[in-house]
Amino acid sequence: MMVISGPFERHDHASCRTRALAQAEEVCGDRLTAVRRRVLEMLLESHVALGAYDVLERLRSEGHRAQPPVAYRALDFLVAQGLAHRIERLNAFIACHRPADCEAPAFLICRACNRVAETGNAPKRGALARDARALGFEIEETVIEAQGLCPTCQTP
């Protein structure tokens, strides 16, 4: 599978955003309520991961008197629908910019600018899957998160 989202390349981020939002509406219909939609829009504003409390703060700055569970619920919903991903290493969340094509995502996290690229991977064929099979371990989900420096941040 190829790279499916390109924060580290020049791209038309506005269409990047509107496409993802359109796909979200298609997937969720009614269930994309106001708060959920607003949180998704926040995540889509950039390719930087947001913590739950970042989201909460933004909601509050918009006049919503929200408590932590509001942010977590919205994020949990988006993750469950495949519209967002949790980045374990950052305790934070990014929007999925290609929910329709996203099956087994892996992430490239720039430790300097905090942008996160989503790439696809083929876990069924890798060394990990082979080892798991040899042990009789049944993999249900794999977290793959690489940290490093994006092209921009390599040249200070």
Handedness of CA 110, 107, 70, 18 (dihedral sign): positive
Q: Is 73 in the site for DNA (CB under 7 A)?
A: yes
- Dihedral-angle region of residue 108 (phi above 0 means left; psi in -120 to 50 means alpha; beta otherwise): beta
Q: Which listed residue (3, 15, 16, 84) binds Zn ion by CB under 5 A?
A: 16
User: Kind of pairing, strands 92-95 and 105-110?
Assistant: unpaired
- Whole-number Cα distances in Å, 87 to 2, 27, 148: 20, 22, 14
Q: Is 31 in the site for its own copies (CB under 8 A)?
A: no
Identify residues 92-131 at the interface with its own copies (CB under 8 A).
Answer: 106, 108, 110-111, 117, 119-123, 126-128, 131
**Residue 13 or 64 having the CB closest to DNA:** 64
- Map residues 33-62 to x or -, x wherever contact with DNA holds by CB under 7 A: xxxx--------------xxx---------
- Give the pair of three-digit tokens for residue 100: 């329709």
Residues that bind DNA (CB under 7 A): 31, 33-36, 51-53, 64-70, 72-74, 76-77, 91-92
